[in-house]
Amino acid sequence: MTNAGDREKTQPVPDSGCTKSDVEHLFGKCILRFQAFELLMKAIVAQHRVSGSNAQPKDALTRQVDDTQRKTMGLLVGDMMTSFLVPEGQEGLSDETVELSGSSFTILQQIVLPPDEFARIEAEHRDLVALRNSLVHHFLEEHDLRSEAGCHGARQALVAALDRVTRAYNDLSGLALENAAARKAMAELLATPVMRDWIVSGQPPWPHTTIVQALHNASTALAACDWTSVDAAAEWIAAHYPDESPKDYGCRTWRQVIHDSGLFELQRREADGRRHAWYRPSVQKPVPN
């Protein structure tokens, strides 16, 4: 049983009217939330991809940050939806290249989404750009703040806009946390000796490469008496890792990858008047999980 005081607390508070001052306060809050959303996008876009010279890696990040700071919200959404968030099948570096003298590097972080999810997020962000532009450039054209009815309509529009940008900001914050965790993991990886050797000498970080993992998995799938035919492994990898190729690692053949990585034993056998290469993972240098 409830008393009169309890009933009074649970009853919805009636709308006591809306003034121009109320609308202005809510408008400012809405614009500030859009700016926070835009700043978060700038942080993600500026750091998810960096290309530069090995001799001056910090300069590359500085240029990227400076370039991003000058971009509008619409350009930021375009960058984010074509490079950081990508649909399945379009991950990886784009065809565009940056002309750099000497040795160079590119670090890319991406979140790959199912096509339907990508399309939904892209549409939402495009709508947010249109909403933000409408608020900044056309709000007074669309709402007459000289009347109480006009103020009511403006308030309803702002409440809806604030709710949309707040939800988008919260969702983007989750992606930013994932991005930060990935950057931390990347920083720890770059601090390892094998990665430092890669940056300084150009030697691939073999234990961390996909091609070595593919060779390891091919050996597990095909090995007979511990040894695997290099030709058979190449066919298996072509079926299971179609994007992997020795040339992407500066090698001419699969035998060169096996030899240069230092993670496998390699031998040649005579059969049918020809010499065939066989390999097996090195016991001393196992491929890490």
Q: How would you classify the pairing of strands 111-113 and 85-87?
A: parallel
8 A C-beta contact, residue 97 and residue 61: no
Distance from CA of residue 83 to its chain's centroid? 7
**Cα–Cα distances in angstroms (integers) from residue 142 to residues 27, 86, 150, 151, in the given order:** 14, 36, 9, 11
pLDDT at residue 285, as a whole number:
45
Has residue 8 got a pLDDT over 50? Answer: no
| 104-134: b (≥16 Cβ within 10 Å) or e | beebebbbebeeeebeebbeebeebbebbee
Q: Is 39 helix (H, G, I), strand (E, B) or coil?
A: helix
Phi then psi for residue 48, to 5 deg, are -75, -25
pLDDT at 42: 92
With CA atoms as reference, report the closest residue to 173 among 67, 33, 71, 49.
Answer: 33
| pLDDT tens digits along 106-146 | 778 888 899 999 999 999 999 999 999 999 999 999 999 99
Predicted pLDDT of residue 61: 66
SS3 86: strand
> Percentage of residues in the chain with pLDDT exceeding 70?
80
For 219-238, the pLDDT digits (tens) are 999 976 789 999 999 999 99
Residue 10 pLDDT exceeds 90: no
Integer Cα distance of 222 and 228 in angstroms: 6
Instruction: Grade residue 12 by pLDDT with cuts at 50, 70 and 90.
Output: very low
User: pLDDT tens, 30-81?
Assistant: 999 999 999 999 988 888 877 766 566 566 667 778 888 889 999 999 999 9
Q: What is the pLDDT of residues 156-193, one digit of tens each?
A: 999 999 999 999 999 999 988 888 887 788 778 777 77
Mean pLDDT score, 212-220? 94
Q: Which is higher by pLDDT, 149 or 106?
A: 149
**Which pLDDT value is given to residue 265?**
94
User: Band of the pLDDT at 201, cuts 50, 70, 90?
Assistant: low
pLDDT value of position 31? 96
Which pLDDT does position 283 carry in this prediction? 61
Question: What is the spatial distance between Cα 12 and Cα 27, in angstroms, rounded to a whole number?
Answer: 24
Q: What is the reported pLDDT for 181?
A: 86
Across the range 254-277, mean pLDDT stands at: 91
- Number of other residues whose CB lies within 10 A of the CB of residue 285: 14
Query: 249-275 as b/e, with b when 16 or more CB fall inside 10 Å?
Result: bebeebbebbeebebbbeeeeeeeeee
- The mean pLDDT of the chain is 83
Q: What is the pLDDT of residue 1?
A: 44
CA distance 92 to 119: 18
Mean pLDDT confidence for 251-268: 94
pTM above 0.85, yes or no: no
Phi, psi of 254 (to 5 degrees): -65, -35
